[in-house]
């Protein structure tokens, strides 16, 4: 492996840094976007069951907020109802929508960085290719003489090819994971929106 890095020359080091960063971001997103941390399957049903008789106390609402991202959104609606029992359904929705925007921003964290790596890695590989081509032409003797330095010529070719390949190796998985996480976040956001809508209707019906 080290021999390949040596053959690829100095342009490969930024690509290695990008690959390490992309791997760290992918691992972090896998850990942070677990379903249990975002939208536990039975949480909404449990909240609706608890609120059939009365609005939970602030302590219970605080525990719900710490449960998950969905719990945070639902808790904001219950907290608004605790603060103002006669608040309208629009006010409940507005409270949960505001919290939902904060949660959405948190779910989308680092996705732009991963997309940037996916876009920049091929360009960085192309830059390495250009450096290799410069070395190839630099190895040719001046004045149109034939021959040149075979070692320098081979090194220029290796720099060009290794950097091109490594740029694609970094970019392709980064793009795949970015699209995967983007779709996962969109699915979570839809679930949060529908859950907040359902809870708002439920609370409004109980007050009638």
Output the CA–CA distances (angstroms, integers) from residue 207 to 51, 76, 95, 104, 196, in the order listed. 11, 18, 18, 29, 17
Q: Check residue 207 and give its pLDDT.
A: 64
Structural Rg of the chain based on CA atoms: 27
* Separation of alpha carbons 50 and 68, rounded Å: 17
pLDDT tens-digit series, residues 90-106: 888 889 999 999 999 99
pTM of the model: 0.83
Q: Check residue 38 and give its pLDDT.
A: 93
Query: Per residue in 13-49, is it b (16+ CB within 10 Å) or e — as a string?
Result: ebbeebbebbeebbeebeeebeeeebbbeebbeebbe
pLDDT tens-digit series, residues 108-136: 999 999 999 999 999 998 888 888 888 77
Ranges of each domain in the chain:
2-206
How much is the average pLDDT of 165-189? Answer: 95
Residue 142 has pLDDT above 60, yes or no: no
pLDDT tens-digit series, residues 43-90: 999 888 888 878 788 888 899 899 899 999 999 988 888 888 777 778
Q: Where is 198: in which H helix or E strand? A: helix 150-206
């Amino acid at each position: 492996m080290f021999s390949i890095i040596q053959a690829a020359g100095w342009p490969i080091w930024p690509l290695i840094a990008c690959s390490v960063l992309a791997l760290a971001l992918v691992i972090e997103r896998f850990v942070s976007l677990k379903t249990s941390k975002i939208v536990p399957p039975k949480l909404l049903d449990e909240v609706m069951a608890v609120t059939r008789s009365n609005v939970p106390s602030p302590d219970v609402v605080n525990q719900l907020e710490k449960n998950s991202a969905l719990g945070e959104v639902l808790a904001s609606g219950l907290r608004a109802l605790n603060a103002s029992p006669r608040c309208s359904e629009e006010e409940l929705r507005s409270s949960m929508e505001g919290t939902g925007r904060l949660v959405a921003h948190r779910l989308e964290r680092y996705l732009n960085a991963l997309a940037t790596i996916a876009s920049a890695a091929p360009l960085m590989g192309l830059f390495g290719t250009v450096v290799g081509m410069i070395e190839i032409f630099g190895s040719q003797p001046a004045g149109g003489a034939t021959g040149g330095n075979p070692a320098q010529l081979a090194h220029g070719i290796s720099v060009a090819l290794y950097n091109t390949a490594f740029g694609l190796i970094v970019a392709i998985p980064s793009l795949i994971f970015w699209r995967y996480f983007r779709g996962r976040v969109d699915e979570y956001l839809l679930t949060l929106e529908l859950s907040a809508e359902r809870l708002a209707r439920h609370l409004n019906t109980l007050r009638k």
